[in-house]
């Protein structure tokens, strides 16, 4: 995979250096290598998923529930590091929640209170 990635990068840089031609040998080579690289990426993704599915399925088939869930969580549950989250210069969960509350309280309009407009809409 690294070899084809390097080939793709090299031919792309060459293609740029010669003025990004849309026809000719360099463009044909660029398109061929780009296609091979994209195919290799897709194949690697499928292989990765298949290998993980096999492990999870193996645990499930053998009714090894503890290892099934450990494997499932390790592969499919994404853990977010909340230490680095910053929203409107707030980092604490309570401060962020209060900022959301204040923001939406200022823009909220209860359309049920606009009886004339509701009546016009329903007509």
What residue spans define the domains of the chain? Answer: 2-79, 82-123
Average pLDDT over residues 51-62: 82
Average pLDDT over residues 58-72: 89
Cα 57 to the chain's mean position, in Å?
Answer: 25
pLDDT over 90 for what percent of the chain? Answer: 32
Predicted confidence (pLDDT) at residue 83 exceeds the cutoff of 80: no
Tokens of 80: 């977010």
Query: For position 52, what pLDDT does the model report?
Result: 67
For 90, phi and psi rounded to 5 degrees?
Answer: -105, 140
Helical segments of 22-114, H only: 25-61, 65-76, 93-107
Cα 103 to the chain's mean position, in Å?
Answer: 28
For 42, phi and psi rounded to 5 degrees?
Answer: -60, -40
Query: For position 56, what pLDDT does the model report?
Result: 83
């Amino acid at each position: 995979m690294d070899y084809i990635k390097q080939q793709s990068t090299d031919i792309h840089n060459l293609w740029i250096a010669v003025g990004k031609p849309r026809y000719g040998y360099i463009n044909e080579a660029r398109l061929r290598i780009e296609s091979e690289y994209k195919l290799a990426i897709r194949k690697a993704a499928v292989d990765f998923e298949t290998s993980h599915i096999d492990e999870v399925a193996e645990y499930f088939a053998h009714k090894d529930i503890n290892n099934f869930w450990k494997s499932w969580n390790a592969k499919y549950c994404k853990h977010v590091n909340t230490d680095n989250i910053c929203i409107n210069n707030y980092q604490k969960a309570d401060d962020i929640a209060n900022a959301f509350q204040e923001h939406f309280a200022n823009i909220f309009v209860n359309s049920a209170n606009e009886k004339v407009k509701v009546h016009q809409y329903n007509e």
